[in-house]
Amino acid sequence: MTHIPYLFNQTAEQMRRIGARGGKTQARNRRARQRAAGAAPREIPLPAAPPLETTPQAMAVLDAQFAWLRGAEKPVRQRRIGLPNSAHR
């Protein structure tokens, strides 16, 4: 690890300037790499085609294929387990 003794003997303003120089240098280097690589404008991908079947249609197919899972997408209502009638007295 590089030892930089002057780094911790700085004021907050001096530390901000050091950080800003690093950010500016990084941006300048990135722009230079892009220019050197001959970066052309990025091609924007075409949006994906809409699905051919709707969600309800897909659910109907799955319900027909897996009958024991029919209604599994619906939340299960919790039943309250009550005590026998004799215990309520």
Cβ-based neighbour number of residue 23 at 10 Å: 9
pLDDT tens, 48-70? 887 788 888 988 898 899 988 88
Q: Is residue 45 part of a domain?
A: no
pTM over 0.85: no
Q: What domain range includes position 28?
A: 5-40+51-84
Q: Count of domains in the chain? A: 1
Alpha-carbon dihedral sign for residues 42, 47, 48, 49: negative
DSSP secondary structure code for residue 37 in this structure: T
Q: Is residue 78 part of a domain?
A: yes
Contacts of 69 (CB under 8 A, 6+ apart): 62, 63
Please, what is the Cα angle at 55 between 52 and 61, to 5 degrees? 85
What is residue 30's predicted lDDT score, i.e. its pLDDT?
87
Q: Is residue 28 part of a domain?
A: yes
